[in-house]
Each structure stands twice: as structure tokens, then as C-alpha cells.
Structure 1
Amino acid sequence: MKKNTMKLNIYGIKNCNTVKKALDWLDQNQLSYTFHDYKKEPATIEKLQQWEQKIDWQQLVNKRGTTWRKLTEDEQSRIQDADSANEALLSNNSMIKRPIIEYGEEILLGFDEKEYTEKLK
């Protein structure tokens, strides 16, 4: 099987279970990557806007996580568009859906083994 030689950048939080699954899958499939930990290297407005050129801003907001659930209903309701979402995501990177994998000009969001196999191998 031909190994993928494109550069992979992974964004997330090391102790996130979904990120762990993604990193384990990449390691098992011998794909090299650079990991960007939000705790050490927070996302920037430029990075969020770059991702939003490829996917809808709503997909970046992790509404299933504990960070979202800790927001008040008023805080949640204020996230109406990319600008308000970016403001919230920049103030709390834990609310960004993860992992985000950049490969070539594309990105993958979350962990889906079938999608990883189709697009990264």
C-alpha cells in the first residue's frame, strides 16, 4: 500500500479521547504529523478564518462538549455568526471541535476511521 507523503497538521487537546483515537490511528497507519496542542499553542483568528473558508463556522463549535454546556443559555444564544463564534472559540479553545486535521488544501473534522482511510492513506 502506498504511504501518504502529504504533510498532516493535527489541532486539538492531548487529553481529549477523540484526539487520542485520531493520533492512535495515525500512528498505527504510520502517517507522520505535527500535533498542535491548544493548551500550548492556542488557535488564532487567522487559523479559524482559514478553516472557515473550507467548512461552515457552525461545524467548528463543539456543542456536545462540557465547555459548551458550561455556558449560560444567554452566552450560547449570542453565538449567531462566524464573528461571534470566533470570539467564543478564541476565548476558549476547548470549545473547538477536535481534532482538526489539515492535509493538503483540505481539512477533516473529528475522528471517522472510514473517512481517514479514504482520505489520508
Structure 2
Amino acid sequence: MLFICYPKCSTCKKAKKWLDENNIGYTERHIVENNPTYDELKEWYEKSGLPLKRFFNTSGNIYKEQKLKDKLPTMSEEEQLKLLATNGMLVKRPLVIDVDKVIIGFKEIEWQEKLNS
């Protein structure tokens, strides 16, 4: 299982602590030092079944500075995925990627259901 996070992010720290406390093995990946590629994002998006907007860090500074709230609706999926691949700080985190699931963000109840089954 791949755990993609930004180590300074408080939500990522909580998620990592939860994984450790629940003895769930993972490989950690720093989202800025090793930004997800276009191909990875496309695969995860398709596997997740979630709207592409969920992959954006909508509370991040870059999202706000680039006024992406207004721009995303007019962009194609391909354009959005390419944009996400340019900067890890645009991507919502943490991300958990497993063989059959993709989880975005940390909600303990959701993780309990999806990872402790």
C-alpha cells in the first residue's frame, strides 16, 4: 500500500499515526519530493470512482492563487490531470493507493471501513 503525504501536514501526521496504531503496512512517499505523475493520477482517478475535483487540494495556497475554483469547470479532465502533475501541493493529501482502492484525505471512519476489512 502506498501512503502519499506531505510530512508537515497535520492531517497527514494524524493519518500516519492511525496507520501505525492499526498495524497497517505502507510505503511512504513525500508528495512534493516525488510528485505524482500524469499517468499515476489518471490511473488513481479512474480506480477511485471519485470526481476529479476531489483530487485537488482546494484549501491550498496554489489552488487559491491560480483561481482554480473558477478555471477547473472549463478545463478537460486531461488538462486537470496535467495540472495536478505539475505540483504536489495541488494534490489533496494524504492519499492511500492500494491494489483495489484509492482513498483521498483522512476521515478516520472511512479509513476504518476501507482499511480494516
Instruction: State the TM-score bracket (shorter-chain normalisation).
Output: 0.7 to 0.9
TM-score of the two chains, using structure 1 as the length reference: 0.82
TM-score of the two chains, using structure 2 as the length reference: 0.85
User: Paired residue for 1:70?
Assistant: 65
Q: Deviations for 1:57-85, whole angstroms, at most 9, x for unmatched residues?
A: 111112122221222x3x55333232221
SS at structure 2 position matched to 1:41? coil
Q: Is residue 78–residue 84 contact of structure 1 (8 Å, CA) maintained in 2?
A: no
- Is residue 91 from structure 1 mapped to residue 79 from structure 2 by the alignment? no
User: Paired residue for 1:12?
Assistant: 5
Percent of aligned pairs sharing the same letter: 25
Alpha-carbon separation, structure 1, partners of 2:5 and 2:84? 13
User: Paired residue for 1:81?
Assistant: 76
Q: How many residues are treated as equivalent by the alignment?
A: 112
5+ long unaligned stretches in structure 2: none
5+ long unaligned stretches in structure 1: 1-7
Rg comparison, structure with higher value: 1
CA RMSD of aligned residues (A): 1.6
Q: Is residue 38–residue 84 contact of structure 2 (8 Å, CA) maintained in 1?
A: no
Which sits farther off after the overlay, 48-57 or 75-84?
Answer: 75-84
SS at structure 2 position matched to 1:91? coil
Q: How does 1:45-60 map to 2 (within 5 A)?
A: 45-53=38-46, 54=48, 55-60=50-55
User: Paired residue for 1:103?
Assistant: 98
Detail structure 1 runs of 4+ shifted over 4 Å in the superposition.
none
SS at structure 1 position matched to 2:85? helix
Give the Å deviation of 1:34.
0.4
User: Paired residue for 1:3?
Assistant: none
